[in-house]
Amino acid sequence: MRFGVNYTPSAGWFHSWLDFDADAVRRDLADIAGLGVDHIRVFPLWPLIQPHRGLIRPRALADVAAVVDVAAEFGLAVNIDALQGHLSSFDFLPSWVLSWHRRNLFSNPEVVGAQADYIEALTAAVADRANLLGVTLGNEVNQFSSAHHPDRHPATRDHVDAWLTELTAAARRAGAPLVTQACYDATWYDDLEPFRPEHAARHGDLTVVHSWVFNGAAQAFGGLGEGSVRHGEYLLRLAAAWHDDPGRGLWLQEVGAPTNVVAEPDVAAFTEQTLRHAADVPGLWGVTWWCSHDVSRTLLDFPELEYSLGLFTNDHEPKPAAHALSRMIQQASGSAAPASAATPAGIPSSAASAGPPVLVLDDTDADTYRSRCGPGQDFHRDWLKLAVAHGTGPAVVLQSRLDDPSRPVRSRTGDLQRDTELLASTGGNRHV
């Protein structure tokens, strides 16, 4: 299992691309490499590399390649995120899709074609680097399609499918060794979100999950409640329910300890428990912590929690979460591969009958089931009850697949009576 860190530059945050300084990057990556992680996730700003639809700046591409090369000095692999897009409450869109030139980010052929050009050029600029881990199409680009976005770019399910297909192909064409796409959790929790679980589970090479307990979990269960420290695990197991290939991997690409809902003294415990529970999930490819460095207080307007999400302070001091992450990495590398790693994610095979419990998600009504999965909602609560009772979170299987004779799911024997009683008091979701 891979451990990594989302790299937030200590000087100038992502605006530092405007004043690229390889030595400043070197200083930051030395901090990160000291934790024992194997990779970083790097975020170019789309409008700086492609400020005009017809202009992709060679020097900006060279700057991204330089970060990959500095990472190599520290033995770090690098995943590049292309379309930023959205970062920590700030949206970065080029002027050629704004106001007088507003065109839909997901369905306008000129825009999507230019995004493909951008992703292809960005990938090509780093494809020959041995330490290139892969390319993610963009950070939570689905935020722009959200019903809650103030300048929403509407998209249908088909638009999203076509968009993901075209941009994934662009990254592959240019030689990305691993292509992924990253959604925020509305994909699983929001009935109105056009980026659906199927999109997350069927495009790209891994299913990517971003787990943020400020989105309801910590409010409902407390910062160290089971609903919070198992939130990453929950999202991973939920996402796996849509896998067609039971061997498909899962990437917990963002998870962090937001101090607006996790008390400062609890951050280390939150970190450790979150990582431990996530590591139980079969098929977990890796975890990438958010984030490397606190945002400087000289930068204004960030949500308060962003100033304290770093593993390091803005002036390079490691914080409790850094020590917790480092310990977990040492333990993981010292032990044999966890037993569960041999079990593929997704629908449990008959061989898993002695394994973890299985919970059925009734996805029959595609327009309404997602809100039932949200933090503190009935499906989440039932999942948690089984997780606590069994000591490990249940796998999730879709009702639509139980009903599909081509996808057999065997019932497991075990604590069926107890589980039935457990679930009767909340949503009454089926287990099998």
Q: Where on the chain is the footprint of its own copies (CB under 8 A)?
A: 12-13, 15, 18-19, 48, 51-55, 57, 59-60, 89-93, 95-96, 98-102, 149-151, 298-301
Distance separating alpha carbons of residues 290 and 7, to the nearest angstrom: 8
CB of 88 to its own copies, least distance (A): 10
Closest separation in Å from C-beta 151 to its own copies: 5
- Write the burial class of residue 417 (CB in 10 Å: 0-12 exposed, 13-18 middle, 19+ buried): exposed
Q: How far is the CB of 148 from its own copies (least distance, A)?
A: 10
- Return the number of the residue (52 or 407) whose C-beta is nearest its own copies: 52
Q: Cα(338)–Cα(316) distance, rounded to whole angstroms? A: 33
Nearest-approach distance from CB 313 to its own copies, in angstroms = 18
Q: Which residue, among 73, 4, 90, 84, has the nearest Cα to 43 in the 3D structure?
A: 84
- Residue 148 or 407 with smaller CB distance to its own copies: 148
Taking the least distance from each CB to its own copies, the nearer of 15 and 410 is 15
Cβ-in-10-Å burial (0-12, 13-18, 19+) of 354 comes to exposed
**Which CB, 14 or 242, lies closer to its own copies?**
14
What is the DSSP code (8-state) at residue 156?
-
Q: Name the residue nearer to its own copies (CB basis): 108 or 313.
A: 108
Please check whether residue 357 is in contact with residue 394, taking contact to mean a CB–CB distance below 8 angstroms: yes
Q: How far is the CB of 330 from its own copies (least distance, A)?
A: 37
Q: b or e along 277-286 (b: 16 or more beta carbons within 10 Å of the residue's beta carbon)? A: bbbbbbbbbb
In DSSP terms, 52 is beta-bridged to 55
- Which CB sits closer to its own copies, 15 or 26? 15
| Residue whose CB is less far from its own copies, 93 or 281 | 93
Least CB distance from residue 113 to its own copies, whole Å? 11
288-314 residues labelled b (16+ CB within 10 A) or e (exposed):
bbbbbbbbbeeeeebeebbbbbbbbbb
Shortest gap between Cβ of 179 and its own copies (angstroms)? 27
Interacting residues of 290 by C-beta distance below 8 A, sequence separation 6+: 6, 254, 255, 256, 309
Taking a C-beta distance cutoff of 8 angstroms, is the pair 267, 257 a contact?
yes
